[in-house]
Structure 1
């Protein structure tokens, strides 16, 4: 790093730290009467929201939470979760957003590893607690969360042993005055756990500064460049990505900063999601392809088609296939893709159509809308080979994506070896194989562990899934590589059919072969085996679980 001359500083000059509390404070300046809505059960404006955040701070400090302590949350996507995003972090404590879809053993590991002190738990997850409670090593008390409070507090019944009380009742009994302190912007703010192919879940962590800067990155790209239409004056935001998954991709921080109307759907149910989109006027959401596929193929989709025309959806977590994109666009949904990972908070790229690309017919835009996106502001992204050497951004050369941003995690909590592997060479290694075009498009080919190496060729499982998605009647597909004595590996596919179709292996292979004959697909893109299944195995955050698919298909072949 070069030597520079620092600006002189007056002794009493104040340099405001970048803190999450400052994002919250902005919500009261311009549109404090906009609403935050939870299902069809609860609504409040930003004035009341700020009061409730301060009440939560008083509840937590009353329970003994001090700066540096960890508070865990088990809840569906709700206004309460949003309150925790601000109330826990703004007192200097650490918010642990627990992945409720992990196994009880994995949840136990993450809670002990994060050293949770206080746990806020929705009653729906009490069976998980009952399975692990006796093995928790640091938890001192629990707070019960229940939706029943909105009709009758007394309907909750007996608060379980070990609980200090119920969330709403505790908030009701404390003051709504709390002066959030200033502290170092590099203070640890949040943690959550991401699973890999081996070992225990890894603890990812972020500071106030990192989350503040990630919010500024989203603000620049979404509002400044209009990569997604999101204007606080008219837009209504509803996440359909779990809030335990990378802070719902950081959008709740942005929506609160902008005092945009926010809608939280609780547990994901197609009927409720469609109802909220219509009744609350939702205009912006984000989700994994599985959720969008569920909505697009819902019997309610055609009924609500007129309302979908104002709805923009950002897809991440897994690749957006052309088949799903076209199905959504045919319903009027403005669908585009983005790219990132848990360790990058997560935004690295979002589809941005320039003037020339926006002028293309919608069907031609699909090629761009399904890419991983253009590199986001303040993100450095490069390609490297296996020796760590940089590769050209020519749109053809494949390499691993490595990145540096103001908001990437600095490692894994209490796991220096895996943290050093993540950051080898001073760049964060994503594990994704891609090309980058001269005009900054990222085109992800595959995860390094999912690329199929067959006959000396690299075959992208994502490209194969994209090809299968365009076969009429295919609702969803997954492709994995399995060992082959002759070719090294060969692709195998799982397919879920749309209702009312009766697809055959021969018919699908004939469709692929016609595209191969026309030169649209390489010959290696013909799967050796196609299995029709009722559903495709997913991970805890809705991604295709290729590790499980590989294991199960190997067993089938061997048996």
Structure 2
């Protein structure tokens, strides 16, 4: 069954809504450029990202664990074979092809082949429940599913509930699994039977290229989507931001890239497109395990990665980390705030760690917290900047506003909601017009994050709207308390939530996981915060009455701290 046209069609129908607004701002006496009848308009399509690596470094390596090592030239051949194989199974432009895989060379091939043939790539969040996975597959209208053998048990439990999936392709690392009932082919056999010289045609750059579903702590996941034009512009702007740094955080052609953010999550922050366009050596780790990640860093010379704080904390706490030289490794941290304590630990190991900011709806990158050369030299100042939210990357129009959408001063103190415009922001949620209008109220995308901007232009997210704590009439930032507690040498992880209080309305409650073997008294940590309050670093209302030591802190499916679950678990009547 084909999904409804609005679920798979180009984003042109959204542009029909936007164009009248755009035309209102166009001066009546503007004049388009004249074009020769033979001129090539060069649509911004994902296939254009392959020109440079194939011309400049076709023999550069792409590595998958210890199992696959091939070149960009081979990558292009396999992209053609995958498109041809999917076409032979009946996949047409506009169809949605879903992928359930670990981070692999196959996923990279899907990032290109599926949208390049005019189809839509749907990346399945493998950490959702089977019912949620079935919902996202049905809601996206997925016609084909490429699925790794590891996920077959989960798939079998949801299979009968799928309403649109017609074609099944098996992904098998070992190459020994028998083809399950109902599967059309295994991935490698499909490619082997297909011609690598698939002719990728031009089409409208506003055609939908990808779709995926945001992680929600309540309610059903929301679908977002991005066009070819949006993904190409995001790639160019992110590359410009990374490459324009004088030194700290700079990414260049000699870097070796390895993602540690799942490829199902916001295109792995768009970095595989950046790495491919630049022709970097790429290393894909499959399923994450600390020892394997560290071994790949050592063996392959990985110098550029990105992950959530949980993954970095896991790596640095691993026994294998002590035996691995991490000097010069550039790591962008996103998804959650980068605690000062974790950042300091990483810097002490020689890691060039800094924050990136965005969300599923923003493709995702909006800011990077690279240190301006004029602000470098003071380690404590640099630490503060690296843990901020950062400077807007090129083409991002970012504001902090009050409830009436009025701009607030860039003084580092005036807090407001962060709203943005950029050419790669999702234009709507899939089949959800009410939520889409709320997202874009006033013509800017609303992040639901609260932040301040200082006089150097650095953004600092102080809290989520839903997570900020109101105590004694004052707004208390849970992120600020987390950051201060993380600096204590005994603290491994920390999350601060608001709990109900009869006198003050809400009070902060820190939940702390201690470092392995560490011991610290609750009163010592409370005294630490009280001293900061006396010095004026934080409000007296930010000092909690108590602290809970816990074995683990609940996370979402993409590794973020799940404050909704924590509030439900630890809320006191």
Length-normalised TM-score, structure 2: 0.94
Provide the C-alpha distance between the structure 1 equivalents of 2:532 and 2:379, rounded to a whole number of angstroms.
22
Tell me if structure 2 keeps the 8 A contact 1:146–1:166.
Answer: yes
Deviation at 1:298, TM superposition (A): 1.0
Tell me if structure 1 keeps the 8 A contact 2:513–2:553.
Answer: yes
Q: Is the partner of 2:103 in helix, strand or coil? A: coil
Q: Indicate which of 479, 483, 486 corresponds to 2:503.
A: 486
Tell me if structure 2 keeps the 8 A contact 1:24–1:86.
Answer: no
Bigger mean CA offset, 471-480 vs 6-15 = 6-15
The one-character-per-residue Cα deviations of 1:216-275 (angstroms, maximum 9, x if unpaired) are: 10111111335622111x210000000011000001001111111000011110000000
Tell me if structure 1 keeps the 8 A contact 2:103–2:262.
Answer: yes
Q: Indicate which of 262, 269, 280 corresponds to 1:249.
A: 269
Tell me if structure 2 keeps the 8 A contact 1:446–1:462.
Answer: yes
Tell me what 2:289 maps to: 269
Tell me what 1:199 maps to: 219
Q: Which runs of 4+ in 1 moved over 6 A?
A: none
Tell me if structure 2 keeps the 8 A contact 1:236–1:263.
Answer: yes
Tell me if structure 1 keeps the 8 A contact 2:469–2:477.
Answer: yes
Matched, 1:73 2:91: no
Tell me if structure 2 keeps the 8 A contact 1:285–1:314.
Answer: yes
Tell me if structure 1 keeps the 8 A contact 2:233–2:423.
Answer: yes
The root-mean-square deviation of aligned C-alpha atoms, in Å, is 1.2
The one-character-per-residue Cα deviations of 1:271-306 (angstroms, maximum 9, x if unpaired) are: 0000000000000000000000011111112211xx
Provide the C-alpha distance between the structure 2 equivalents of 1:183 and 1:456, rounded to a whole number of angstroms.
56
Tell me what 2:183 maps to: 163
Tell me what 1:109 maps to: 135
Q: Indicate which of 83, 86, 89 corresponds to 2:115.
A: 89
Q: Is the partner of 1:479 in helix, strand or coil? A: strand
Q: Indicate which of 440, 444, 454 corresponds to 1:427.
A: 444
Q: Is the partner of 2:450 in helix, strand or coil? A: strand
Q: Is the partner of 2:174 in helix, strand or coil? A: helix
Matched, 1:20 2:78: no
What aligned pairs does 1:24-43 form with structure 2 within 5 A after superposition? 24-43=50-69
Deviation at 1:80, TM superposition (A): 0.4
Tell me if structure 2 keeps the 8 A contact 1:118–1:139.
Answer: yes
Provide the C-alpha distance between the structure 2 equivalents of 1:490 and 1:452, rounded to a whole number of angstroms.
7
Bigger mean CA offset, 261-270 vs 508-517 = 508-517
Deviation at 1:103, TM superposition (A): 1.1
Deviation at 1:11, TM superposition (A): 3.6
Going from structure 1 to structure 2, the CA distance change for 1:510 and 1:224 (only over 3 Å counts) comes to: closer
Deviation at 1:105, TM superposition (A): 1.2
What aligned pairs does 1:362-401 form with structure 2 within 5 A after superposition? 362-401=379-418
Tell me what 1:311 maps to: 329
Tell me what 2:251 maps to: 230
Deviation at 1:528, TM superposition (A): 3.1
Tell me what 2:19 maps to: none
The one-character-per-residue Cα deviations of 1:99-151 (angstroms, maximum 9, x if unpaired) are: 011111111110000000000000111122111100100000210101102xx
Matched, 1:64 2:85: no
Tell me what 2:556 maps to: 539
Tell me if structure 2 keeps the 8 A contact 1:28–1:46.
Answer: yes
Tell me what 1:152 maps to: none
Tell me what 1:343 maps to: 361
Tell me what 1:2 maps to: 26
Provide the C-alpha distance between the structure 2 equivalents of 1:423 and 1:197, rounded to a whole number of angstroms.
21
Q: Indicate which of 423, 432, 437 corresponds to 1:415.
A: 432
Q: Indicate which of 482, 485, 493 corresponds to 1:476.
A: 493
Deviation at 1:357, TM superposition (A): 1.5
Tell me what 1:402 maps to: 419
Tell me if structure 1 keeps the 8 A contact 2:215–2:556.
Answer: no
Q: Indicate which of 229, 232, 241 corresponds to 1:221.
A: 241
Provide the C-alpha distance between the structure 1 equivalents of 2:34 and 2:159, rounded to a whole number of angstroms.
54
Provide the C-alpha distance between the structure 2 equivalents of 1:531 and 1:199, rounded to a whole number of angstroms.
29
The one-character-per-residue Cα deviations of 1:439-489 (angstroms, maximum 9, x if unpaired) are: 211011000000101001111100010011011210000001122121111
Tell me what 2:12 maps to: none
Q: Indicate which of 147, 159, 163 corresponds to 1:121.
A: 147
Matched, 1:136 2:162: yes
Tell me what 1:260 maps to: 280
Deviation at 1:197, TM superposition (A): 4.4
Tell me what 2:8 maps to: none
Going from structure 1 to structure 2, the CA distance change for 1:225 and 1:364 (only over 3 Å counts) comes to: closer
Matched, 1:501 2:518: yes
The one-character-per-residue Cα deviations of 1:419-457 (angstroms, maximum 9, x if unpaired) are: 000000000000000011232110110000001010011
Q: Is the partner of 1:476 in helix, strand or coil? A: strand
Provide the C-alpha distance between the structure 2 equivalents of 1:311 and 1:194, rounded to a whole number of angstroms.
29
Which consecutive residues of structure 1, in runs of 5 or more, have no partner in the other structure?
A: 150-154
The one-character-per-residue Cα deviations of 1:55-82 (angstroms, maximum 9, x if unpaired) are: 0011110111100000000000001000
Provide the C-alpha distance between the structure 2 equivalents of 1:268 and 1:357, rounded to a whole number of angstroms.
36
Bigger mean CA offset, 416-425 vs 192-201 = 192-201
Provide the C-alpha distance between the structure 2 equivalents of 1:21 and 1:8, rounded to a whole number of angstroms.
26
Deviation at 1:202, TM superposition (A): 0.4
Provide the C-alpha distance between the structure 2 equivalents of 1:10 and 1:125, rounded to a whole number of angstroms.
53
Tell me if structure 1 keeps the 8 A contact 2:44–2:229.
Answer: yes
Q: Is the partner of 1:242 in helix, strand or coil? A: coil
Provide the C-alpha distance between the structure 1 equivalents of 2:365 and 2:432, rounded to a whole number of angstroms.
24
Provide the C-alpha distance between the structure 1 equivalents of 2:388 and 2:433, rounded to a whole number of angstroms.
34
Provide the C-alpha distance between the structure 2 equivalents of 1:159 and 1:7, rounded to a whole number of angstroms.
55
Q: Is the partner of 1:254 in helix, strand or coil? A: helix
Matched, 1:298 2:318: yes
Provide the C-alpha distance between the structure 1 equivalents of 2:312 and 2:186, rounded to a whole number of angstroms.
34
